[in-house]
Structure formats: structure tokens, C-alpha cells
Amino acid sequence: MRCPYCGYRESKVVDSRPAEEGCSIRRRRECLSCEKRFTTYETVESLPMMVIKKDGSRQSFDRRKILDGMMRACQKRPVALADLERMTDEIEQTLQNSLDREISTDRIGELVMERLKSCDEVAYVRFASVYRQFKDIDTFMKELSKLLEEK
């Protein structure tokens, strides 16, 4: 690490501690040349992901959109916000672990439905009706029948 005061390339770590709720590490360093101290932060580098929408356009991945969609599906349902945030974290981690830098909205939607199905069936059906664009009552009933058969 280069010293911000003299530019010397060698330093020693004097102190390390977690920062930002464990998302990074704060390090106090001391330059081996001028002996001045400075702080650095170490974080995990996450690779940017692009979402391919149904119309073929691309946009940056935004975890907030997943959380917002699940919150709408769970409106007036007994699902805690902490559970929705945990599911959003799981979905984001699954996508990061796949190492695919381009993810289709279909893949994201399926992951959301998978989580909602095990959490709250009404929220699952609400989300599925919008995501799968149910055209009529027959399509809606087929989805409900599948859900009942699985029970």
C-alpha cells in the first residue's frame, strides 16, 4: 500500500477491525519510511451484473427491485420485512455465485417465486400472476391447481 504522505510503497498494519457492519475491514497502517499513519478499507469486490429484460434491453442489476416486487406481493400478508430482505440476499448471492454476468429476468423471477412459494402461498400467487402475465381466470386457476396438488 502506497503511503499518501511520501509515496513509499511499504507499510505495516498497526490495527485491523470490522467496519460497516462486517462488510469491510478498516486497517490502520504505518509507513515504514516517514512513520506517519493512515487508514485503508478492504472490501470484497463484486462483479457487476447486467439484467436482460424481456424486450432484450439491458440494465444494471438492482437488488432493490427484487425487494420492492416481493414487498408488493406480500402487502397485507404476515411476512416480516426481515424475511424479505433475507430472501433478497439469498437471491443476490445465488446470482453472484453463478458467475454469469448477464442474467435474464426469467431467471430472477423464478428465484423470487421459489422463495415466495415456501414463505407465503398467497404472495406467491400474486407475484406469479404479474410475472407470468396471467391472461384470464383459467390460467389463474391452473396455477392454483398446481399449488394444491403439491400440497
Question: pLDDT tens digit string along 66-102?
Answer: 999 999 999 999 999 999 999 999 998 899 888 788 9
Residues 62 and 130 reside in one and the same domain: yes
Q: If you average pLDDT over every residue of the chain, what do you get? A: 89
**Whether pLDDT at 112 is above 80:** yes
Residues 75 and 132 in one domain: yes
Residue 29 phi, psi (nearest 5): -120, 155
Say if strands 102-104 and 50-52 run parallel, antiparallel, or are unpaired. Answer: parallel
Q: Are residues 101 and 135 in the same domain?
A: yes
What is the reported pLDDT for 130? Answer: 83
Residues 85 and 133 in one domain: yes
Is pLDDT above 90 for 44?
no
Are 36 and 88 found together in one domain? no
> 106 and 146, same structural domain?
yes
Q: Nearest 10 degrees: CA dihedral of 129, 132, 134, 135?
A: 150
Q: Enter the C-alpha cell of residue 135.
A: 391472461
Burial of 105 per CB tally in 10 Å (0-12, 13-18, 19+): middle
- Could you give the percent of the chain with pLDDT greater than 70? 99
**Residue at 61 is within a domain:** yes
Cα gap 47→54, rounded to integer Å: 23
| Structural domain of 112 | 50-150
Distance CA 142, CA 96 (A): 33
Residue 32 pLDDT grade (very low, low, confident, very high; cuts 50, 70, 90)? very high
Domain count along the chain? 2
- The reported pLDDT for the residue numbered 20 is 73
What pLDDT is attached to residue 133? 76
pTM reported for the whole predicted model: 0.64
- Indicate whether 22 and 87 sit together in one domain: no
How confident is the model at residue 141, as a pLDDT? 79
